[in-house]
Amino acid sequence: MADKGGTMALFGSRRARSILALGTALASCIAMSGCSSDSGPPKLTWYINPDNGGQATRAQQCADASGGAYRVDIQILPTDATQQREQLVRRLAAKDSSIDAMSLDVVYTAEFANAGFLRPFTPEEQARLTDGMLPAPIETGMWKDTLFATPIKSNAQLLWYRKSLVAKAGVDPTSPTFIWDEMQKTAVEQGKKISVPGARYEGFMVWINALVLSAGGQILTDPEAGKDAVPSMAGPAGDKAAEIVGTLGRSPAAPADLTVAQEEQARAVFQGDNGMFMVNWPYIYAAARTAVEEGTLDQSVVDDIGWARYPRVFADRESAPPLGGANMAIGAYSKHPDLAVQLAECATSVEKATQYMLDEGEPSPFAASYDDPRIREAYPFADLIRESIAQGGPRPITPFYVDVAGSVINTWHPAESVGPQTPADTDSFMADVLSGKRLL
């Protein structure tokens, strides 16, 4: 699976070209005294998902601010979220004490917490860590009413549209009555495309989950029940989601590469001659501006990009924008858990989250970040990002998320194959997977 709004800012960035070299350089100690010796303050090892150096900067700043209490060794995980999970699971299952802190994709907190891999934060720590944060990101770090991972960055998808084309069509994507059905109808009438993540990967699950939540349903009932949770795709919400996915999959508004399209392929179509609508993360705006600076995209395209809240499924029900991001957790077997908590409190502060948003293009989980004049200048849609994150819809928070997502992706891909029976088929398939009767 690819990252879900966590590392997408790497794409389209000029700095991305040096990420491999950066990874080599950062897989070393970051501290006041360097890495030449094991003497001196304790060394905390923080496993991070790849970025353009923002987490390493946070680590350096926190080590400097600790007054010599600790050093920080950054270890970079693979770009792919599935591989990140596998590497951490192998180490933590072996009770690896070298993992002091880790950056986790939001969908894995419940699995790691349920397995005993994470040190829970105390109520006092939770209060300090989450003070001023938007509610939805906090939820992704919770398991059974306990905070096991604190948001280090967040994200939410928006609806993007070409202003000239919607004006010509006489529609308003910012209107509550502008729902998925109208968007598809408009794109077909105009002979244009709707860019969505349709490949067989996590982004496809993101799309389906958002449709189901926006329609008032949920993929899984009682996710805290673990393997006894009840698949709940069949019903009015799942049926409407299937209608939207299947209709687009078989529609002339579907891009030719829909079955293999991830975020970047979707962006390419949207920026092309036939692009009209797209659901995607906020990074795409900065990526488009960077492409103009590099001479690979005309400024007129950027000037023509409009934005709105993630589309509604029904006009009388607000949408649940897809929620992404990453959380910072403390390893259960760390030899320095108290120091690791200090690192987490420093690294996930509102000041550092705001700067990270400016440097990396990854939204902050803190409400106050969006009032910062620098953020408002860089993101003319800052208020929309804040609103979308605050009211965002998480994917099922379950220790068996991999099984749940795999069941959905297996039964809904490709989009053109989705029909009225698909939600019920998913429920049956997922129930068998969760009970061990079937393997993904």
Residue 272: other Cβ atoms inside 10 A: 12
C-alpha–C-alpha distance, residues 71 and 62, integer Å: 9
Residue with the larger pLDDT of the pair 36 and 338: 338
pLDDT at residue 38, as a whole number: 62
Q: Taking residues 199-207, what's their average pLDDT?
A: 97
pLDDT digits (tens, 9 = 90+) for 270-327: 999 999 999 999 999 999 999 999 999 999 999 999 999 999 999 999 999 999 999 9
Q: Is residue 157 scored above 60 in pLDDT?
A: yes
| H-run or E-run covering 360 | helix 350-360
How do residues 214-268 score in pLDDT, each as one tens digit? 999 999 999 989 999 999 999 999 999 999 999 999 999 999 999 999 999 999 9
End-to-end CA distance of the chain: 14
pLDDT attached to residue 316? 96
Strands 146-147 and 305-308: unpaired
pLDDT digits (tens, 9 = 90+) for 93-115: 999 999 999 999 999 999 999 99
Query: What six digits make up the tokens of 190?
Result: 């105009």
Q: What is the pTM of this model?
A: 0.92
pLDDT of residue 28: 43
| Cα 211–chain centre separation | 16
Q: Which amino acid does the sequence have at 400?
A: F
